[in-house]
């Protein structure tokens, strides 16, 4: 990867640190570290600069004090669009409908948006498995099932194969 991407990635981390609230032992998961892991996963797997940066920042609108204008000004319209595709609509109360709407929105925004969501869910699978959190693993399964239900057939990427392995491991938790 380029030095430019490394500088932009570091700027993204600084942006998140500035806007995220601190995590505590009682937090479901340390969100800042989760976002960094998602960005690093995408970086290490050679995804484009936009995908890496949007993956790093995927929770910025949903979980931090950052606004859409702040993200657009700092990182540009394309990255903002990918982040918004990955931002839950909390006006939807039913968890199954909320998940379906989110995944369908990612698909509508293209393979890059769905790759980011998949990296997000992979990291969540890994974290919640390490914490033996059955309820959160069910959340991961709900997302994984929706990804495979709504994913376009021409969306082909190794990340989907990795998600399939995790989905199969926890198939017994499907709701």
**Tens-binned pLDDT, residue by residue, of the chain (175 aa):** 689 999 999 999 999 999 999 888 878 899 999 999 999 999 999 999 999 999 999 999 999 999 999 999 999 999 999 999 999 999 999 999 999 999 999 999 999 999 999 999 999 999 999 999 999 999 999 999 999 999 999 999 999 999 999 999 999 998 7
Mean pLDDT of the chain: 96
Which domains are seen in the chain, by residue range? 3-173 (1.10.3210.10)
Please tell me the pTM assigned to this model.
0.96
Report the interhelical angle of 111-130 vs 77-85 (nearest 10°). 50
pLDDT digits (tens, 9 = 90+) for 41-78: 999 999 999 999 999 999 999 999 999 999 999 999 99
**Nearest Cα residue to 62 out of 2, 102, 104, 7:** 102
Helices (H), 20-157: 31-44, 49-56, 60-63, 68-75, 77-85, 95-109, 111-130, 134-150
């Amino acid at each position: 990867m380029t030095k430019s991407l490394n500088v932009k990635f570091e700027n993204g981390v600084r942006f998140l640190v500035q806007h995220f609230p601190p995590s505590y032992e009682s937090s479901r998961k340390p969100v800042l570290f989760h976002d960094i892991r998602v960005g690093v996963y995408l970086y290490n797997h050679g995804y484009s600069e936009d995908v890496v940066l949007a993956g790093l920042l995927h929770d910025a609108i949903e979980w931090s004090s950052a606004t859409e204008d702040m993200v657009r000004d700092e990182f540009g319209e394309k990255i903002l669009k990918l982040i918004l595709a990955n931002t839950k609509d909390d006006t939807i109360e039913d968890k199954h409908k909320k998940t379906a709407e989110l995944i369908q929105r990612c698909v509508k925004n293209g393979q890059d948006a769905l790759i980011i969501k998949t990296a997000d869910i992979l990291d969540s699978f890994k974290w919640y498995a390490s914490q033996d959190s059955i309820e959160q693993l069910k959340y991961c399964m709900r997302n994984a099932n929706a990804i495979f239900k709504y994913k376009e057939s021409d969306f082909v990427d190794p990340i989907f194969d990795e998600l399939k392995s995790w989905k199969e491991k926890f198939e017994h938790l499907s709701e």
